[in-house]
Every structure is written in C-alpha cells, then in structure tokens.
Structure 1
Amino acid sequence: MEILLWLVPSAVVTAAAMAWVSWASRDGRGEVDRDVAAQRLGRALAKDLPAGTRRTSAPARDRSTGIAVRPSHSAPASRGTTRRAG
C-alpha cells in the first residue's frame, strides 16, 4: 500500500486542475447574445472565399504498409534471367 503513495501528488494536482477548469468554464463568462451570434455566423457564411483559398480534396496517397514489395515478374523471360524453383 505504501508504494501507491507516490500517486497522491499527481491525484491532488489532477483534482485541482479539474476544479479550476470547471470554475473557469462555468456559464455566464463572456456569453454572447444568440441573435448577435446568428448574425455573425450568417455574415461569415455569406462571404466568398478568395480565389487561392478554395479547399480541394487531398490527393489520394498510396498507403505504405512498411513492407518492400518487388514489382511483379510480368516481363518476358528472354532477358537472360532465370527463375528458381522453390
């Protein structure tokens, strides 16, 4: 049981942080009127984006598995290479 005493300081700090966050984020701090917020949102959505900032989908990337894979042997065997059985 004594070995768990090293957890006490971290538990106290965690509890204090949780209490501070719950106090700091309580209702009524910096509240904006709903109508004003709706107007701001409407104006932001109505704006046109500048020409260079239009988002496009990311290009499809090959998913690397971390394993090196040799290309298939679909080339004709007349290049002087021999295949080993096995």
Structure 2
Amino acid sequence: MAMVWVSWMGRDGRGEVDRDVAVERLGKALGKEMPAGTRRTAAPARDRSTGIAVRPSHGQSAG
C-alpha cells in the first residue's frame, strides 16, 4: 500500500506545462536551423492500387 501511495504522490504535477512556456518552447524549436544533411521533402506519393485489373472501355458503350 505504501508503494501505491508513493507512486501516486510522485506523479503530482507531472506533465503540466504552462501554456505560455509551451508556446515559447515551440517557437524556439521551430526557429532552429536543421542539422546539415537533413532535408524537408514531401512524402512520396503512395501507389493507390487496389489490386484489381480494369480494362479500359475504348469508347464503346456496353449494352
């Protein structure tokens, strides 16, 4: 029971950050220069294949 009490009391205030402090930290992090060799690129386009082959219609109507 003592271990439960100590662990509960030890977590008091954990993870709580003042909003202004958090905004300031975010601004600093975003303002930092990226290390050499790090590139900001867009994610590669995913192949959206469904795995089902569909033949083109060649302009003929089905009927």
Same fold (TM over 0.5): no
Q: What TM-score do the two structures reach when normalised by structure 2?
A: 0.42
Q: What TM-score do the two structures reach when normalised by structure 1?
A: 0.35
Whose helix fraction is larger, Structure 1's or Structure 2's?
A: 1
